[in-house]
Amino acid sequence: MRLGLAFSVIFSTLFIDLLSKWLIKTHIVPPLRVIPLTSFFNLVLGYNRGMSFGLFDSNNLYAPFALSAVAIVIIIVLSTALWRSNSLQHRLGFAAIIGGALGNVVDCLHDGAVTDILDFYVGEYHWPAFNFADAFIFCGVIALFIPYARESTARP
């Protein structure tokens, strides 16, 4: 089954992301909003009403729908690429990106914002909070580019 593993990655990614956000929102963080776990990592409860790193942040009533529509178009394009791909690594990369994007779309349409729960920092410098969907999207993009990086380093 050529796409079975890809569908498993999509649904696993979606499940892990939505479950983690639900657990944080309902059982772990609400009374505190920040739970320090290590000297470089906190669990947090934050909401991003824009795109990556708050880009296009808006309190407009229709913003979640507009951003979700853009994400759905991207999901459709990536699904086509996944379907056409003959590379296992590319299919897994596309699947991770699609699953992560779906997680953020579901969250955005349900809550009007994407829930961010992971906060890494060094000293006073905090990386913008993110969620597992964002991490899966990042890993998927890396999976797509690894073959090209290998190819460019292999050339004399």
Catalytic residues: 116, 134
Order of strands across the sheet with 34-36?
Answer: 34-36, 41-48, 114-122, 125-126
The structure tokens listed for 63 are 């913003």
Closest to 141 in 3D by CA, of 80, 96, 87? 96
Phi, psi of 86 (to 5 degrees): -105, 0
Which residues in the chain belong to E strands, given as ranges? 34-36, 41-48, 114-122, 125-126
CA distances from 7 to 13, 74, 91, 102, 125 (A): 10, 17, 10, 13, 37
